[in-house]
Amino acid sequence: MLKKDQKTNVQVTKNFNLSEMEFFDTLPPNLVAAATELLQNLQVIRDAAGKSVNIISGYRSPERNKEVGGSKMSQHMFGNAADIKIKDMTPDAMGVLIEKLISEGKIKQGGLGIYPRTDGWVHYDIRGTKARWRG
- How do the domains of the chain map onto residue ranges? 18-134
Identify whether the C-beta of residue 35 lies closer than 8 Å to the C-beta of residue 20.
no
Identify whether the C-beta of residue 89 lies closer than 8 Å to the C-beta of residue 95.
no
pLDDT at residue 32, rounded to an integer:
94
Q: What confidence category does residue 4 fall into, taking pLDDT thresholds of 50, 70 and 90?
A: very low
Task: Please check the confidence at residue 10 and state whether its pLDDT lies above 60.
Answer: yes
Q: How far apart are CA 43 and CA 47, in angstroms?
A: 6
Neighbours of 33 (CB within 10 A): 10
Q: How far apart are CA 34 and CA 98, in angstroms?
A: 19
Task: Please check the confidence at residue 66 and state whether its pLDDT lies above 80.
Answer: yes
Q: What confidence category does residue 2 fall into, taking pLDDT thresholds of 50, 70 and 90?
A: very low
pLDDT at residue 74, rounded to an integer:
97
Mean pLDDT of the chain: 93
pLDDT at residue 41, rounded to an integer:
98
DSSP-H helix ranges across 87-128: 91-103
Look at residues 70, 102, 96, 100 and name the one whose alpha carbon lies nearest to residue 83.
70
pLDDT at residue 8, rounded to an integer:
64
Q: Among 3.20.10.10, 3.40.718.10, 3.30.1380.10, 3.40.50.150, what is the CATH number of 18-134?
A: 3.30.1380.10
Task: Please check the confidence at residue 86 and state whether its pLDDT lies above 70.
Answer: yes
Q: How far is CA 75 from the centre of its chain?
A: 9
Strand partners, 131: 111
pLDDT at residue 117, rounded to an integer:
81
Q: How far apart are CA 117 and CA 3, in angstroms?
A: 34
pLDDT at residue 9, rounded to an integer:
77
Identify whether the C-beta of residue 109 lies closer than 8 Å to the C-beta of residue 75.
no
In the chain, % of residues over pLDDT 70? 94
